[in-house]
Homo-oligomer: A and B are copies of this chain.
Amino acid sequence: MKTPETVRWAGDAIDVLDQTLLPGEVTYKRCDTVELAIEAIYLLRVRGAPAIGVMAGYTLALAMRIAAPADRDMFFDVLESEKARIDAARPTAHNLRWALERCAAAAHHADARSVDALHAVLLEEAHAIAAEDRELCAAIGRSGASLVPEGGGILTHCNAGALATAGIGTALAPLYTAWDAGKRFQVFADETRPLWQGARLTAWELAQAGIPVKVLCDGAAASLLASGQVQLVIVGADRVAANGDVANKIGTYGVALAARAHDIPFYVAAPSTTFDLGTPTGAGIPIEQRNSDEIVEPMGSPMAPQGVEGWNPAFDITPHGLIAGFVTESGILRPPFVESIRTAFGRHGRGA
């Protein structure tokens, strides 16, 4: 399965597939300053928890090259401040902080003495995160392919596909894997207001791959699930708490409630890197509040009357009780999640 490349290191710059322009334009935006790289994260040119992790690693490597600290001590001082600045770009995705911490730790633990060598370590770690993410996606695809109903329908929300990762995606990975193995099915993509990632991104990458996809308004999901056309709901995650509560794109929780009402299994696909064992429950996950204009002025066209504000949380929390299982690189985790998650990722996993 050939899927698009979201982020690539371009030698002292990062090229980012600008997802705000999809599906109309396939353009890579060159980020050759830290400001441009952080903006790319904040404006969702690059988005999806795993891809944000990959971007974070490269952004840290880029930031350190631009800062050009004179010696080893200064290197580690600057590293802390650059980490904090990048970490502030978006608060909810666990992979952002996870990748920054991992790269910083690699520098701290490296034998490298020279600043040049430390730069090399950071970049190598960023490359490693990207390469491993590709592997994680492939493994998630293998873990979840058997869930895909032959001849059936699958509903997904937002985009947890190739465009959200360095590989074939998380929620869409089992679909790609099953399709490659010859299964045939129909995907339904919630359009995912306010930023239309379902219509713009999920529909685009599935259509590119030749997989049938229809788009629906988010409010139509409950009706679709009632209609009998869907046998599986699968979404990604921005962060999973230790008890299995999931932060994902706003609208996910309502889909999970509707899936439960119709006894349709609701799965969350995520690599170990998205599990945050340091956060006991969903109540501890910070939820990014975004600009009201994304709602009241979609695509820059005023939709609500002037002076009326939008309520615009970017994510919601789906309680673990609504989740049938987590599709991970270590197989499918089943309830009780507090145990299955700890067993899978608690000590050895990179999410710890």
Q: Chain A: residues with CB nearer than 8 A to chain B? A: 23-24, 157, 188, 190-194, 196, 199-200, 203-204, 207, 213-224, 226, 249-255, 257-258, 261, 295-296, 298-299, 301-313, 316-317
Q: Hey, which chain B residues are within 8 Å of A308, CB to CB?
A: 199, 203, 207, 213-215
**A219-B204 in contact given A258-B257, A299-B301, A308-B213 (Cβ < 8 Å):** no
**A304-B199 in contact given A191-B295, A217-B251, A309-B214 (Cβ < 8 Å):** yes
A207 near B311 with CB under 8 A, answer no
CB distance from A211 to the nearest CB of B (A): 11
Q: Which of B24, B220, B310 contacts A311 (CB 8 A)?
A: B220
CB distance from A172 to the nearest CB of B (A): 15
**A219-B218 in contact given A298-B298, A311-B188 (Cβ < 8 Å):** yes
Q: A191-B193, A223-B254 are in contact. List 19 more A-B contacts (CB 8 A).
A: A157-B219, A199-B295, A199-B296, A199-B303, A207-B307, A207-B308, A214-B309, A215-B308, A217-B218, A217-B251, A217-B295, A218-B219, A219-B219, A220-B316, A223-B250, A223-B317, A254-B257, A257-B258, A257-B261
A302 near B222 with CB under 8 A, answer no
List 23 A-B pairs, Cβ < 8 Å. Answer: A157-B219, A191-B303, A192-B219, A193-B218, A193-B219, A196-B303, A199-B304, A207-B308, A213-B308, A214-B310, A215-B295, A215-B309, A215-B311, A218-B218, A219-B251, A219-B254, A219-B255, A222-B253, A222-B254, A223-B316, A257-B257, A298-B298, A299-B301
B214 near A311 with CB under 8 A, answer yes
Q: Hey, which chain B residues are within 8 Å of A258, CB to CB?
A: 253-254, 257
Q: Hey, which chain B residues are within 8 Å of A221, CB to CB?
A: 254
A220 near B313 with CB under 8 A, answer yes
B313 near A250 with CB under 8 A, answer no
Q: Which of B250, B304, B306, B307 contacts A220 (CB 8 A)?
A: B250
Kindly state the separation between the CA atoms of A216 and B316 in the bound complex, as whole angstroms: 13
CB distance from A215 to the nearest CB of B (A): 5
CB distance from A284 to the nearest CB of B (A): 15
Q: How many copies does the complex hold?
A: 2
A222 near B257 with CB under 8 A, answer yes
Kindly state the separation between the CA atoms of A257 and B259 in the bound complex, as whole angstroms: 10
CB distance from A91 to the nearest CB of B (A): 16
Kindly state the separation between the CA atoms of A191 and B312 in the bound complex, as whole angstroms: 12
A310 near B215 with CB under 8 A, answer yes
Minimum CB distance partner of A308 in chain B: B203
